[in-house]
Structure formats: C-alpha cells, structure tokens
Amino acid sequence: MGAQSIFVMTLSTTIGSLSLHTPLLTGSGTFGHDASALSFLNPDDLGALVLKTVTPQPRPGNPNPRMAEYEGGILNSIGLENRGLHYWRDKVAPELAQIAVPVIANAGGHTLEEYVEMTIAFSEMEGVEGIELNLSCPNVEGGTRFATDPIALAQVVAACRVVTEKPLWAKLSPNVESIVPFAQAAEQAGADALTVSNTFLGLLVDWRTRQPQLGRGFGGVSGSGIRPLALRFVYESAQAVEIPIVASGGAASAKDVLDFMVAGASAVQIGTAAFRTPDLLSKIAQDLRALLKEDGSTIQTLIGSLEWPSL
C-alpha cells in the first residue's frame, strides 16, 4: 500500500452509504451555486461539495446590505438567492456528473410540496450523490417553520424520503432550545444523516444611524463565534440518534474539525472561515494528516470518542 493510500484511509469517513475520502465538506451557500470552487480546491482534500440551496422558483434574495462582519464572524441575510430549479437542472447539473468529488445538492422550499418537488428533481440528476434539506434558513419568511416544529419537520422529511433512494440529510436549525426532539424526529422520518446546524438568528446595529446593519434587520450568525454553540448541538444530537452527524458552525482549523469529530460528527462543513482563505480546506486537510499521524489515530477512531466528566 502506497503512502498516498494510507493518507486516504486515515482521513476517510462514511455518512451512511456515502464513502468520503476526507471529512471536509463545503457549507451550503458559502462556496457557490456550482462546482467552480474546484478551480481553487484540490479534490483530494474535499470529501464532498455541498452546494447552495436551490428552490423551485428563482429568488432575488433580500435587500442590501446582506452581510456584516463582527469580531466573532459574520451576520448574513442573503435570503436564499438562487436562479431556481429549471436553470440549475439545465445549466449546473450536467457539469456535476463530470467532477471528481461527490456533490450534495441542497433543497429549499416554502411548503412540503416544494421540498418534495426539489427532492424528486435532484433524485433524477446524475451528478447529485445526496440531498441536504435546508429546513433551517433564518433569512426568509417562514424559513424556520419546519425546523422549529418537530412534527412539521418529520412530515417534510418523511414525504421526501418516499420519493428518493439517494442519501437524504436534514439540516437542522440551531434556533431552538433543545435540538434533541428535532434530531430524533428527522431520524424517525427516515433521514440518513443530520447536518447540525445552520446560522443562529442575530442582529447587528449601527448606533450612529440608529439602524440595523442589514437591510432586512435580523440575519444569521456564522463563523468562529458560534463554534461552541454548534459543538454543543453536535454532541447532543450524536447522543440522541444513531444516524451520522455532519457538523456545521464555525470550524476554521484542523483542531476545530477534530473537536467536532470527537464530539460525535462524522464529517465537518467549512463555510465562513473560507471567505478570508478560499483554499482553507486544503490547508486543513494537510494539517489533519499531520495531526493524526502525530496522534497515531484515524478519523474513524476519533468519532464520538469524547469522554464526559463523571460528576
């Protein structure tokens, strides 16, 4: 076995039936609508490309400004801007079949029927390996309806489950008191994995203008400031369900990725941290290889290995 294969095995992970050669994924909406991120990311370093949410109809998104920075990360209210299913099916999907990494398409909708429509469409696209249901966007009217009511969430997941055999991930909202009922509802409804989680509802204001910094007022907080909050939800979800957890929230280094994995994640999405350093994923992959070699461990042995203090 060559040195390269040993490296590949060290970082390899599985999310249900999907085998990924690294645990590093892009976060939906932070690496674009198509596969163009592969022009600056080495496919060997990337486990899967998770693309921006697509909705049945095109959406113009929210009024500007849509992003504001603070010392812990950013606040955004993009509002699921996208060109809609027809454009995506005709222009984006055909290219995805040619690329070297698995693609997870992300489905958005306002109603159960819209999620089902997106799931059927993605199921028929050759280049889509799995489907992530965005049940948790805080930046659109009614965007968290399904993520803040476990019964509604289970109905959407169950309805999408029956129309696809592709891996189906439910992306949960952090804007709840406890994530456990949502994680369990998604699992019971047939999700193959959970993405934990999306952005936290937040607000930045400018005291001089007496106005919110974003055109829509509230937005979703992402970046390193939310990492401990996301880590808690990842740990609690992993304790509550058997299906794999994909972490999302503030990861910016190999150490952060391993922290999420020890807490129970089988893979980790990187979003906001890559805005400053677009090839950050490749740097993290290199650092992961070095850290695991030094520790004599593999990703598989680390997942869920957190030892909780006995009181």
Ligand X SMILES: Cc1cc2nc3c(=O)[nH]c(=O)nc-3n(C[C@H](O)[C@H](O)[C@H](O)COP(=O)(O)O)c2cc1C
Binding-site ranges for ligand X (CB under 6 A): 27-30, 52-53, 74, 76, 78, 80, 106, 134, 137, 171, 198-199, 222-223, 226, 248-251, 270-273
User: Given the structure tokens 């995506």, which residue do they identify?
Assistant: 88
CB of 259 to ligand X, least distance (A): 13
Helices (H), the chain: 3-11, 84-87, 93-96, 112-123, 150-161, 180-188, 227-240, 254-262, 273-276, 280-295, 299-302
User: Pick the catalytic residue: 41, 137, 172, 234?
Assistant: 137
Q: What is the DSSP letter of 303?
A: T
Nearby residues of 55 by Cβ (< 8 Å), 6 or more positions away: 80, 82, 84, 85, 107, 108, 109, 110, 114, 118
Closest distance to ligand X from the beta carbon of 240 (Å): 20
Count of beta carbons in the 10 Å neighbourhood of residue 243: 19
Q: Closest separation between CB of residue 288 and ligand X, Å?
A: 16
Q: Which is nearer to ligand X, 80 or 179 (CB)?
A: 80
Q: Which residues are bridge partners to 133 per DSSP?
A: 107, 170
Q: Is the CB of 7 or the CB of 119 nearer to ligand X?
A: 119
Q: Shortest Cβ distance from residue 201 to ligand X (Å)?
A: 12
Residue whose CB is less far from ligand X, 116 or 281: 281
Q: Quick one: tokens of 115?
A: 């999620």
Question: Minimum distance between the CB of residue 171 and ligand X, rounded to whole angstroms?
Answer: 5
Q: How far apart are CA 71 and CA 133, in angstroms?
A: 30
Token pair, residue 245, equals 């957890």
Rounded to the nearest 5 degrees, what angle is found at the Cα of 162, between the Cα atoms of 160 and 166? 75
Least distance CB 57 / ligand X (angstroms): 15
3-class secondary structure, 36: helix
Nearer to ligand X, 7 or 62 (CB): 62
Instruction: Please provide residue 299's backbone torsions phi and psi, each rounded to the nearest 5 degrees.
Output: -55, -45
**CB closer to ligand X out of 27 and 244:** 27
d(CA 55, CA 174): 21
Q: Nearer Cβ to ligand X, position 168 or 251? A: 251
Question: Does the annotation mark 137 as catalytic?
Answer: yes
CA distance 117 to 160: 9
* Nearest-angstrom CA–CA distance, 7 and 293: 9
- Known catalytic residues are 137
